Structure 1
Amino acid sequence: MERRTVIKLRDRPTLIKETAEWFASKWHLPVAVYEESIQASTRKNASVPQWYVVLDEWGEIIAGAGVVDNDFHDRVDLTPNVCALFVEKDYRNQRIAKMILETIKQDFAEMGVKMLYLVTDHTDFYEKYNWQFIGMAQDNEGIPVRVYQMPL
C-alpha cells in the first residue's frame, strides 16, 4: 500500500470545485452547498468549516470529510461536527478513513477545540475508533440519529 496524505483544502484552494462536485455526488446535496463551505474554509482564522481529501496516484479524490458547525440535526449546542466522511469503495479497508479522522482530531486540537461531534448510523465504525455515544438527536426530517463525541 502506498503512503497517502490528507490534504487540508484551506491549503489547496485549487481543489475547491473538484472537491465540491465529488462530495455532492456522494451525499446528494447541491454542489453550491459544498463549494460555499469549502471556500469559507480558506479564509484566514476560520476554524469551521474545514474540509479534507485524499487523492490517488493520478490526483483523483478517493476520500474526504468535513467539519461544520452542525450536520443537519437539532442539537445545535453540539459543535463542531465531523461530516460527509466517505471513502471510495476500491479504497476501503486501507485505514484511509482512520487517517482522515486522526488528521481532523489533530488539526482541531491545535486550534484549541476540546470536543468534536458527529451524527451517524454507522455505529460499529466510529466506536472502533473510540468515538463515544452520547445520545440521540433528530435530523432535519425528524428521524432519530445517534450522536457521538470525541474529546481532544
Structure 2
Amino acid sequence: MRWSMAHLGAAVATLLSAAPASALLVWQGDARIVSVTPACKGAASERRKIGEGTVLRSILRPRNLSDNGPDTRVSFLHDGQANFVLFLPGGAPTGTAAGWGSGHDAIIVANKGVPYGGFRLQPASPSAGTDFIELTGEIEDFMFIPGCTVRFSAGYTQRF
C-alpha cells in the first residue's frame, strides 16, 4: 500500500494526540520563506516550487522540555504533500541535522544529513509557560531538493 502525505499526517496526529498532555511540549504555526536559491524554483509543477513568500505549516519541539529530548525538532509541510523534518543535534544554531520525511515525489527519506545555519529561537530558552516562539534560520537541500537553500521566519503558538 502506498502512503500519501494525508496518511502520514493522520498517523503523526494520532501519535501526538495519544500521548499524555504533559509528555510533549509542542508549538505549531507557519513558516514563511524569506529567500531561496534558483534550484528551489526549478520544479516543473507549480505545486512543487518553493519561492519567496511561500508559507508552510510547521511544528516545533524545543529541546530539553518535558519529554522532548535533547534535540530540537522542527518540521515543515508544503502544500499538503511534502513533509520535511529536522532533528537539530543538541538544539545547536548551526550544524548538520538529521533530516527525514517525504518529498514531493512521495519518496520517503530517512536520516539524511542536512546542513543548516543561523537558527535563532526567540525566546532563546522557551519554557512550558511560553505562549509564542519565533524561529529563523537557513536550510540547505530544503524539502530534499538538491541545491535548494532557503531562509525562513516562523511563528508558533503552543498547542495544548
* TM-score normalised to structure 1 length: 0.31
Larger helix share, 1 or 2? 1
Structure in which a larger fraction of residues adopt strand: 2
Indicate the structure whose relative CO is greater, using CA pairs within 8 Å and at least 6 residues apart: 2
Q: TM-score, normalised by structure 2?
A: 0.30
